[in-house]
A and B are shown apart, each in its own frame.
Chain A
Amino acid sequence: MSLTTEAAPLVDALHLAAAQLEDAAIGRVRSAAAGRVGWIGASRHRFDDERARRDVVVADLIERCRRLAGRAW
């Protein structure tokens, strides 16, 4: 069995993980946007800061999944 065949389940899992993470990120962005409406003040700033940091983390994880899946093991 070649290395590529051996890695097939992992590649599938990574693609699935990337898709799921992307889905989650979209859900988060949508519900966050609805929550932001009309909200001003200190807590809104904190929320925006946390969300921005978190969105970067999710984007990085999606990228890592795709990179790993695309690597020829």
Chain B
Amino acid sequence: MSVGADPAALDRYSRVGAELRARLACVRQLLLEVDVPGEARLPVLELATRIAELVELEASTDRWVGAFGRALAIADRGWLERGGADLVAAAVGVGDPQGAVAGLRALRRAESPPAAYALASQHWDPASARRVARLDPVLVGSTDGLPVQVRYWANRLVLEQERDRAMDSQRRLVLDRLLAPDPATGSDRQFLLVDAVHDGRVVEVLGDLRGADHVVVVVPGMGEDLGSFDRRLRPRTARLHEAAGALAPSEQTAAIAWLGYDPPDALLDHPGAGVEVLSSASARAGGRLLVRMLEGIGVARAGHLTVVGHSYGSTTAAAAVLAGASPGAVVAVGSPGMLVQHTSQFQRPATRFFTMEAPGDVVAQTGWFHADPNSRRAGFDRLATDGQGHSAYFDEDSRSLANLAAVVAGRDDAIELVEGR
């Protein structure tokens, strides 16, 4: 474990290094351009070559020292004490894909935060990133903090592998569908996570996450799994993405269909699942995973981030806020409870909290997880709805969807509120 170093001094070292390397490159150019008598040509060329080698070596040191210094600034004392910054330095310092994968595995064993992976991968070029993704697609595809484009490639490989070894024809069909191009864009779909084990987990990005002015994450509730992803969560997210984009046509909006956790099975599908649904354990575990994902894509604390949780997914969204997420807005849609009695308990003065309850939505009236968020005493702003029951909030051309889109797009003038119960 390395301790005691001053991150600012190491940052200065790597910045000074960039200037020095530029100067060395000028010296080399000077030697290559000057008139050289014939017999001096060979030693001068050799000198220029040695200077080029020195520039490369210095760049390599600058890269890992810079990453090491920035890793020291990551606010995770336990991880730093476990030698986390050294692991980042080791992962950055390697030039081959095998070494990069070994570095990522070491970071994984040390339970590193997403920022550590972002530092470790910051100098990957597209070609080497693809080679790393091919070596261990499951690791690369599931690691929050790695560049999203690399994860998209890796998760495509994961999907292909899973499809090729799927024995069950139903599962193969589901995976084939996920591998097919996005019908809206004709391009490959963008998966931030594919985990086909048991119920399965999938996270898909719609739009360009990196250039987005507004990002919405849609968190599903009970009964969602790999098999239902394309039938429910994905189309709901796509409709919200489209509606929000239409409200802010001059800005970029990205949406994330986030089945990044294992929600409880539906009550009606599995009669014995009642106890599981009534526990907040899955929501709390999911909340921690959601925080990681948000940190990994660099929008955890962005003001333009909206988290929309449907049903039990709203409880998961609440757990994410309690675990450290600071989105600009949280919308609890048909929520059975938000783990607090009042929004002030979230201690997020900059976050806006909304709720949505359609007539006949019995889940939204349960208050299973602490208080009923639709009560006016809970501190949420209640958005107007027009559908009936628990599953109409994302219906096309609905007032509910328009209201969700207005929150996502930051169009306060288009938000329609109603009195809470």
> Considering the chains assembled together, what is the distance between the CA atoms of A43 and B3 in angstroms?
9
Give the number of residues in B that approach A within 8 Å (Cβ atoms).
Answer: 43
CB-CB contacts below 8 Å: B8-67 with A = 9-10, 12-13, 16-17, 19-20, 23-24, 26-27, 30-31, 34-37, 39-40, 43-44, 47, 50-51, 54, 57-58, 61, 65
**A10/B44 contact (C-beta < 8 A), A27-B20, A39-B5 known:** yes
Bitwise interface map of B from 53 to 90 toward A, beta carbon under 8 Å scored 1, else 0: 01001100100010011000000000000010110010
Contact A17 B17 (CB under 8 A): no
Q: Could you say which residues of chain A place their CB within 8 Å of the CB of B418?
A: none
- For residue B103, give the distance in angstroms from its CB to the closest CB of chain A: 14
Q: Could you say which residues of chain A place their CB within 8 Å of the CB of B58?
A: 28, 54
Which residue of B3, B10, B50 contacts A61 across the interface (Cβ within 8 Å)? B50
Contact B23 A20 (CB under 8 A): yes
Q: Could you say which residues of chain B place their CB within 8 Å of the CB of A73?
A: 37, 39-40
Q: Could you say which residues of chain A place their CB within 8 Å of the CB of B89?
A: 43, 46
Q: Could you say which residues of chain A place their CB within 8 Å of the CB of B47?
A: 17, 61, 64-65, 68
Contact A9 B13 (CB under 8 A): no
Q: Could you say which residues of chain A place their CB within 8 Å of the CB of B4?
A: 38-41
Q: Which residue of B lies closest to A18 (CB)?
A: B27
Contact A35 B13 (CB under 8 A): yes
The reply on B1 being an interface residue by CB < 8 A is yes
Contact A41 B1 (CB under 8 A): yes
The reply on B160 being an interface residue by CB < 8 A is no
> Considering the chains assembled together, what is the distance between the CA atoms of A46 and B10 in angstroms?
14
- For residue B174, give the distance in angstroms from its CB to the closest CB of chain A: 46
The reply on B228 being an interface residue by CB < 8 A is no
SS class of chain A's interface: helix, strand, loop or mixed?
A: helix
CB-CB contacts below 8 Å: A23-73 with B = 23-24, 27-28, 31-32, 34-35, 37-44, 46-47, 50-51, 54, 57-58, 60-61, 64-65, 68, 71, 73
> Considering the chains assembled together, what is the distance between the CA atoms of A14 and B283 in angstroms?
68
Of the candidates A39, A44, A71, the one having the most CB atoms from chain B within 10 angstroms of its own CB is A39
> Considering the chains assembled together, what is the distance between the CA atoms of A61 and B23 in angstroms?
14
**A40/B3 contact (C-beta < 8 A), A23-B23, A34-B9 known:** yes
Contact B12 A31 (CB under 8 A): yes
Q: Could you say which residues of chain A place their CB within 8 Å of the CB of B50?
A: 57, 60-61, 64
- For residue B35, give the distance in angstroms from its CB to the closest CB of chain A: 5
CB-CB contacts below 8 Å: B228-277 with A = none
> Considering the chains assembled together, what is the distance between the CA atoms of A56 and B35 in angstroms?
28
- For residue A9, give the distance in angstroms from its CB to the closest CB of chain B: 5
The reply on B344 being an interface residue by CB < 8 A is no
CB-CB contacts below 8 Å: B304-329 with A = none
Contact A42 B2 (CB under 8 A): yes
Contact B35 A20 (CB under 8 A): no
Contact A20 B16 (CB under 8 A): no
> Considering the chains assembled together, what is the distance between the CA atoms of A58 and B27 in angstroms?
13
Q: Could you say which residues of chain A place their CB within 8 Å of the CB of B40?
A: 7, 10, 68, 71, 73
**A21/B1 contact (C-beta < 8 A), A6-B35, A42-B83 known:** no
Contact B5 A44 (CB under 8 A): yes
Which residue of B23, B24, B65 contacts A35 across the interface (Cβ within 8 Å)? B65
The reply on B111 being an interface residue by CB < 8 A is no
> Considering the chains assembled together, what is the distance between the CA atoms of A39 and B1 in angstroms?
10
The reply on B6 being an interface residue by CB < 8 A is yes
Q: Could you say which residues of chain A place their CB within 8 Å of the CB of B39?
A: 73
14 A-B pairs besides A20-B27, A35-B10, A43-B86 with CB distance below 8 A are A6-B37, A7-B37, A21-B27, A23-B23, A35-B5, A35-B69, A39-B3, A40-B3, A41-B2, A44-B2, A50-B61, A57-B50, A58-B54, A68-B43
- A contacts, CB < 8 Å to B: 3, 6-7, 9-10, 13-14, 16-17, 20-21, 23-24, 27-28, 31-32, 34-35, 37-44, 46-47, 50-51, 54, 57-58, 60-61, 64-65, 68, 71, 73
